[in-house]
Structure 1
Amino acid sequence: MNEHSRCPYRFLGLVALWLAVLGVACATDTAPDLVLHGQLTGSDIHTYREVPFDVPVGVNRITVQFEYSGREEHTAIDLGLEDPQGFHGPQGLRGWTGGSKRLFTVGTVDATPSFSPGPIEPGRWHLLLGIPNIRPASTSDYTAKIWFGHPGDPAWLPAVLNPPLRAGAGWYRGDLHMHGAHSDGSCKSMSGDARVPCPLSLTVEDAARRGLDFIALSDHNAVSQANDIRELQPYYDRLLLIPSREVTTFQGHGNLLGSSEPLDFRLGSKGVPDWNALLTQAETLHGVFSINHPIRPNDERCMGCGWTPTQPVDMHRVQAIEAVNGMDSLSPIFSGIAFWQEQLNKGFHLTGIGGSDSHDARLPLPTPGGSTPIGIPTTVVHASELSMQAIVEAIRAGHVYIDTQGKPDRSFDFVAAVDGHVAEMGDVLRAPRGSTVQVTMHAKGMAGAHAEIIVDGKVVQPKGDLAIHGADQALSFAWSGDGKRHWLRANVRAADGTLLIVGNPVYLND
């Protein structure tokens, strides 16, 4: 027997969706859409029981959490999922986990291992219960909580599937751009005799070995890697795997971070006539869109790589710029920093980020003019916790700096204050005419280097010692407020001028 109880908090879920559409963060999706209850007795041993439930139109994900009583009496219940076509349909049995999993998800693109992704057909579905053991005099009460996902939901919902990997605010280190077997990433085969599509597991293992906290798996126009992520994430419980893709067009590339939802990338087609149409689609998916390697050729040397829109682009629809791609901070020709600062001077609050653009998970060191290992550069994010939502929101907010060489022993912070009001990188601070903006920086692991201050795109020389003399040092200077709009940020350069750190701005009077 079983009973269905509709979630009384469905209205709150609709409110949460409405807030998300408006750009308001909401991770309170903890209430299931359905709760199924039932009881098994000793007579159910060695039988299969179907527990029906109805899936409405417009669902693209089913997530199930299943619990039962009686384990102390050795009761065992195996678990599977049938779609409306049943065992005789082309998919039918969408998965059978036995007793190995009590939480699983089935979506159109990805599914928990032992389940198959694919279309979620509306109609009567069934949980399939197999009972290998229950004692004659025993009973077992079970509860199945079911969440329905919908197109456009943030990738971190339902929350039960995506708990934080680490609680507490901190600086988390990651790489936001890389490629593997799901696009053009390759590495040498086991024998070393051939280059082959590089398995995603090697990419993840390399990132973990390098001590990163998160990576965004961003293959060209592909989201199929999301299914691999479902398998890998539970094991890599210290490394957050963020679904992403490099939106690859003939007029430039951009990463859409934090979404595996469909996106029409056919720029120039009838349905996607220009970048604004494409970016309008991306806005509904709750991720972050960054323009990748904007200063690249767009010809036979690198087809579609450079940012070359044929129509004006509303940059309000963009959230970030890949200011550092691989080792291009060493090159004044290909560095994206100047392009990024041009957008800042136009009044856009765009977060400067970095990405290795790695195409070979087994590459130990950068190759001249070639590929870059994972984690070079590293994007360092000040987030409230290590979770997908927190990392995406912190990038959107600009709480970021770029470690161009990906050195885990290096860290940097930049804070500005006026009359007790404090702003970190990415924040806005009011600085009236005649006020004093007190800037404090904290640098670790960069003895012998020096800070470089940029105001509105120009290097300035404030009063104060900006040389970094020790392994752990605070630096500060005062800047006189004039009541006008400005942005201030800092770089750190080695003694030979090599760029080590690229900081994001604090915005004044904006």
Structure 2
Amino acid sequence: MNEQSRGSYCFIALVALWLAILGVACATENAPDVVLHGSLQGSDNHTYREVPFQVPTGVNRITVQFESTGRDEHTTIDLGLEDPDGFHGQQGLRGWTGGSKRVFTVGAVDATPSFAPGPIQPGRWALLLGIPNIRPASKAEYTARIWFGHPGDPAWLPAVLNAPLRSGAGWYRGDLHMHGAHSDGSCQTQGGDARVPCPLVFTVEDAAKRGLDFIALSDHNTVSQANDIRELQPYFDHLLLIPAREVTTFQGHGNLFGTTEPLDFRLGSKAVPDWNALLTAVGALHGVFSINHPNRPNDETCMGCGWTPEQPVDMHLVQAIEAVNGMDASSPKYTGIPFWQEQLNKGFHLTGIGGSDNHNAKLPLPATGGSMAIGLPTTVVHASELSMKAILDAIRAGHVFIDAQGSRDRFMDFAASVGNRSAEMGDTLAAPPGSVVHVTMHVTAVANGRVEIIVDGQAFQPKNDMAIHSAAQALSFDWPSDGKGHWMRANVRGADGALLLVGNPVYLND
């Protein structure tokens, strides 16, 4: 073998080794913790069988995927789950599917319908198989794959429970702030005689009717709604339901997305002395945290609503700012946009998002302002797919704009380039001194409006015409770089001056 051949052979071998390592890593990431195999035959008809497995200490979720053969011969296997208390009446029986579910989860807070949430004790658990039918001469094989969850796991794990609702990159529209019966959301009773805590299903139905792709259900300091989400998500297969909570303190509110883990919210207590302690605990949960409605008052009219920390806050621990809450985009007094831009000027990469803060799922969407209807505003996210992880990753990355009036079709993108390098909203672009940053935009459904460009919080007037003359229009302009750090973003206003679309920044030379 000559040197060239030997070099090629070594390179191929090295690539093969890396592919093997990556394959093992990918397989391990989604691999079950326990795999159980077994077989059934005709003599098992009308019997029950326990299939035991051990649950180690420190587990707070058990997820089971069950598969079996023989359905073409009408072999039927019902499925249940026993905890270490054993089956004594209903004690120890954590659920029974009657054969209706082949994937289910049981966690400390939530569970698949027909199973009961609660503590996951270590020890001997068992799948309980019931065999209502297997023919005398038939045989069947079954496999149960079991995943164990642990404190601190994000809500999108294990993957077997969280398949994307839609594959492929796209712009997905959602509402990131709302309340129902699990906190202070209320609506009229069936008879219309009183207001009562509003069932979560009405919130989800309304969001689906409005054409949203995702919503975050963010009740105050609780994730009890996660159990309802387990029931509703399979039916609403076009609407992603993201578990969240509004962390509600005496010194401000913030939404935490993508985790159902416990969180001590008692800001000012010995356990949680300040926001930095609370946000450090949040960081361990792998979610996304946004400061909500920062410019609201913090008094008897809106107790704890405004952002009024008693100690300096490390904003590196925050990922997003609710720049638009309800209809406040054009309200100088209440909008969160100035607070957000102040943080951008301090050098923090914080994503501007919006949320309706809806407290009544039956509230109609108004023709004009003054309401907190679901989807008003809409947060529009450029994500790799419609899944919880992809949506939250895109929010964290800043690939977002806000549709301030919650339309179904208004759209904008914003990209900057230098040479062959480009960046979309949320990205960073190197622009050396003397270089020209070329900015391109596409705007849809805002005819007769205009684009305004903001650099470091100040209006910048390009030489090009930034008026919008048609239903779908491309715009562009150049910006000379001084090589220093800047941020640049765009708003779109209607013909009447109303703020319609709020873009996130591209960061330059950061």
> Residues 210-359 of structure 1: matches in 2 within 5 Å?
210-359=210-359
- Per-residue displacement from partner, 1:111-147 (whole Å, max 9, x unpaired)? 0000000000000000000010111111111100000
> Residues 36-435 of structure 1: matches in 2 within 5 Å?
36-88=36-88, 91-366=91-366, 371-435=371-435
Aligned counterparts of 1:28 and 1:213: Cα–Cα separation in 2: 31
Aligned counterparts of 1:301 and 1:70: Cα–Cα separation in 2: 64
Do 2:327 and 2:370's aligned partners in 1 also have CA atoms closer than 8 Å? no
Aligned counterparts of 1:315 and 1:273: Cα–Cα separation in 2: 17
Indicate how the Cα distance of structure 1 residues 135 and 90 shifts in structure 2: closer, same or farther if over 3 A, else same: closer
Aligned counterparts of 1:313 and 1:91: Cα–Cα separation in 2: 48
CA deviation after TM superposition for structure 1 residue 86, in Å = 1.2
Do 1:366 and 1:372's aligned partners in 2 also have CA atoms closer than 8 Å? no
- Per-residue displacement from partner, 1:189-248 (whole Å, max 9, x unpaired)? 111111011110000000000000000000000100000000000000000000000000
Give the match for residue 33 of structure 1: 33
Aligned counterparts of 1:92 and 1:482: Cα–Cα separation in 2: 69
Indicate how the Cα distance of structure 1 residues 308 and 383 shifts in structure 2: closer, same or farther if over 3 A, else same: same
Indicate how the Cα distance of structure 1 residues 347 and 89 shifts in structure 2: closer, same or farther if over 3 A, else same: farther
SS of the aligned residue for 2:477 comes to: strand
Aligned counterparts of 1:175 and 1:450: Cα–Cα separation in 2: 25
- Per-residue displacement from partner, 1:39-95 (whole Å, max 9, x unpaired)? 111111111100000000000000000111111111111000000001238841000
Do 1:39 and 1:141's aligned partners in 2 also have CA atoms closer than 8 Å? yes
SS of the aligned residue for 1:88 comes to: coil
Indicate how the Cα distance of structure 1 residues 432 and 27 shifts in structure 2: closer, same or farther if over 3 A, else same: farther
Aligned counterparts of 2:27 and 2:449: Cα–Cα separation in 1: 41
- What is the TM-score when the length of structure 2 is the normalising length? 0.94
Give the match for residue 464 of structure 1: 464
CA deviation after TM superposition for structure 1 residue 330, in Å = 2.1
Amino acid across the alignment from 1:272: V
Equivalent residues, number: 489
Do 1:38 and 1:143's aligned partners in 2 also have CA atoms closer than 8 Å? yes
- Per-residue displacement from partner, 1:254-273 (whole Å, max 9, x unpaired)? 00011111110000111100
Aligned counterparts of 2:448 and 2:28: Cα–Cα separation in 1: 47
Give the match for residue 476 of structure 2: 476
SS of the aligned residue for 1:29 comes to: helix
Query: Please, which runs of 5 or more residues in structure 2 have no aligned partner?
Result: 1-20
Aligned counterparts of 1:430 and 1:135: Cα–Cα separation in 2: 70
Indicate how the Cα distance of structure 1 residues 89 and 48 shifts in structure 2: closer, same or farther if over 3 A, else same: closer
CA deviation after TM superposition for structure 1 residue 494, in Å = 1.0
- Per-residue displacement from partner, 1:306-339 (whole Å, max 9, x unpaired)? 0000000000000000000000112100010000
Aligned counterparts of 1:320 and 1:98: Cα–Cα separation in 2: 44
Amino acid across the alignment from 1:177: H
Indicate how the Cα distance of structure 1 residues 290 and 441 shifts in structure 2: closer, same or farther if over 3 A, else same: same
SS of the aligned residue for 1:495 comes to: coil
Do 1:27 and 1:157's aligned partners in 2 also have CA atoms closer than 8 Å? no
- What is the TM-score when the length of structure 1 is the normalising length? 0.94
SS of the aligned residue for 1:228 comes to: helix
CA deviation after TM superposition for structure 1 residue 154, in Å = 1.2
Aligned counterparts of 2:495 and 2:431: Cα–Cα separation in 1: 33
RMSD of aligned C-alpha atoms?
1.6
Do 2:365 and 2:374's aligned partners in 1 also have CA atoms closer than 8 Å? no
Identity, % of aligned positions = 78
Aligned counterparts of 1:369 and 1:378: Cα–Cα separation in 2: 14
CA deviation after TM superposition for structure 1 residue 365, in Å = 2.9
Aligned counterparts of 2:32 and 2:509: Cα–Cα separation in 1: 44
CA deviation after TM superposition for structure 1 residue 478, in Å = 0.2
SS of the aligned residue for 2:343 comes to: helix
Do 1:359 and 1:371's aligned partners in 2 also have CA atoms closer than 8 Å? no
- Per-residue displacement from partner, 1:383-439 (whole Å, max 9, x unpaired)? 000000000000000000000001111111000000110100000000000101000
Do 1:54 and 1:123's aligned partners in 2 also have CA atoms closer than 8 Å? yes
Do 1:446 and 1:468's aligned partners in 2 also have CA atoms closer than 8 Å? yes
CA deviation after TM superposition for structure 1 residue 27, in Å = 11
Do 1:29 and 1:159's aligned partners in 2 also have CA atoms closer than 8 Å? no
